[in-house]
Copies of this chain bind each other. A is one copy, B any other.
Amino acid sequence: MHDGDYTQLPHDRLADLRRALLYRYGAVAARNLRLDMSRGKPGRDQLDLSSGLLDCLTKDDYMSRNGIDCRNYGGLDGLAEMKEIFADILSVEPSEVIVGGNSSLNMMFDNIASNMSHGVRDQVPWQKQGKVRFICPVPGYDRHFAICDYFHIEMIPVPMTPEGPDMDEVERLVAGDGMIKGMWCVPVFSNPDGCVYSEETVLRLANMRPKAADFRLYWDNAYRIHHFEGELRPLPNIIRECEKAGNPHMPLEFFSFSKISFSGAAVSAVVSSASNCEFILKRLSVQTVGPDKLNMLRHARFFKNAAGVYRHMEKMAVLVRAKFDCLDGVLRENLGGKGIAAWNNPGGGYFVSFDTLPGCAKRVYDLCKNAGVALTAAGATYPYGRDPNDSNIRLAPTYPETDELRQAAEVFCLAVELASAEKLLGGFNG
């Protein structure tokens, strides 16, 4: 059955279509599926690529190259060998890197917590200055938004363009409002829309003139080396560009091995100016006697250097591309030419950003849920879970096995078709 563009169908044809779709949906729902496209979790095949991490240390191998017994306390800023790998990947100096635990999200949370309660570099704590606001490019990452929400930081959505956040709007906002203290950026394969910021966008961000002297750019470079299609277009280095622009302390760059090695047991890092790092270490020295250096040593042994990481990511790319191709294939096959859906087909990252007809995303989410297919909640890609068009859904194809992914994607397509038919008929109960 191919019906062309649904939006052009007469009412009776649509009604027939809806009946047929409902019938198919009923059959699918009865199958009690349990499929999951909700989170950016790597599949088992991806994790297997790092299985060498599990046994790369031996009983006698626990000393770092600087003679640190990694089993004992200490080493607040991380092992030199891991700092070097992070620095090489991000084209910065090892002295600009602090290596953390298994969660870069935690480093972001902590930096914001610190700025709220203790201020940026001993300036007035954000929380004492009034209602703090952050610029949130949309669609965006729900966990970034959750941190803002937790600290009662008001989120100001700014639309994404194919070049990155709408910079006219961003520049206007930061220059005019001294309570705008931060901005979230996922510059490479942005979550969820897969956008890679243009060179111009990066340079304009680095050269911003925020009204707030304590404005901070949260540069979550989680997918920096996660291209699976061709070469990655080189991006200006945010740390260096901010320096050149006279904003040396503005950016905090975050990176993580969570989607390189083991998502639950990787290492993360924050990169910033030397004096920002000092402030971070001052807080860290109160928080902990030191990070897990053995896990850093494991990573250093397994990957050896940045080149080792890149070779690893080439293998990773093959696996991830297969999942994206599978998803894209099912979407094209089932929804192509029907006028009810738009989606990207990114060359990297973890997500497909999918747009339904306005007003259909929640319905699609519910239909999928009832049929046993978990999606990221509709609206999650917007601050406060409020998608003004109720149309954006983030699809995460990596976690399911390919067979399961195909099934899940087919259920999803059916849900999109059904929700669209209902919508075009004038309501879900129409």
A residues with a Cβ closer than 8 A to B are 39, 41-42, 44, 47, 50-52, 54-55, 57-62, 69-75, 101-103, 105-106, 109-110, 113, 116-118, 127, 143, 146-147, 149-151, 258, 262-265, 283, 285-295
Contacts and interface: CB of A to CB of B under 8 A. Distances in A.
A57 B72 CA distance: 20
B44 A55 contact: no
Contact of A295 (B59, B60, B146, B295): B295
A74 B399 CA distance: 13
B117 A71 contact: no
Nearest to A261: B71
A52 B58 CA distance: 9
A106 B288 contact: yes
Given A42-B72, A52-B59, A105-B289, 16 more contacts: A47-B69, A47-B71, A50-B71, A54-B58, A72-B262, A72-B263, A102-B291, A102-B292, A103-B288, A105-B287, A110-B287, A146-B286, A150-B283, A258-B289, A264-B289, A292-B292
A265 B102 CA distance: 12
A61 B72 contact: no
Contact of A291 (B55, B151, B264): B264
Number of copies of this protein chain within its complex: 2
A265 B288 contact: no
13 contacts: A47-B72, A51-B59, A51-B60, A55-B58, A70-B264, A72-B263, A103-B289, A143-B286, A150-B283, A150-B286, A262-B294, A264-B290, A265-B293
Contacts of A57: 54-55
Contact of A117 (B106, B117, B146): B117
A113 B103 contact: no
Nearest to A125: B127
Contacts of A47: 69, 71-72
Nearest to A71: B262
Contacts of A55: 55, 57-59
Contact of A54 (B50, B62, B149, B292): B62
Contact of A73 (B41, B72, B146): B41
A180 to B, nearest CB: 20
A117 B292 CA distance: 27
Contacts of A60: 51
Nearest to A284: B106
B264 A54 contact: no
Kindly name the residue among A57, A103, A116 whose own CB sees the greatest number of chain B CB atoms within 10 A.
A103
A263 B288 CA distance: 11
A61 B54 CA distance: 8
A165 to B, nearest CB: 23
Contacts of A116: 117
Contact of A265 (B59, B70, B109, B117): B70
A63 to B, nearest CB: 11
Kindly name the residue among A55, A71, A109, A289 whose own CB sees the greatest number of chain B CB atoms within 10 A.
A71
A288 B105 contact: yes
Contacts of A70: 264-265
Nearest to A265: B294
A71 to B, nearest CB: 4
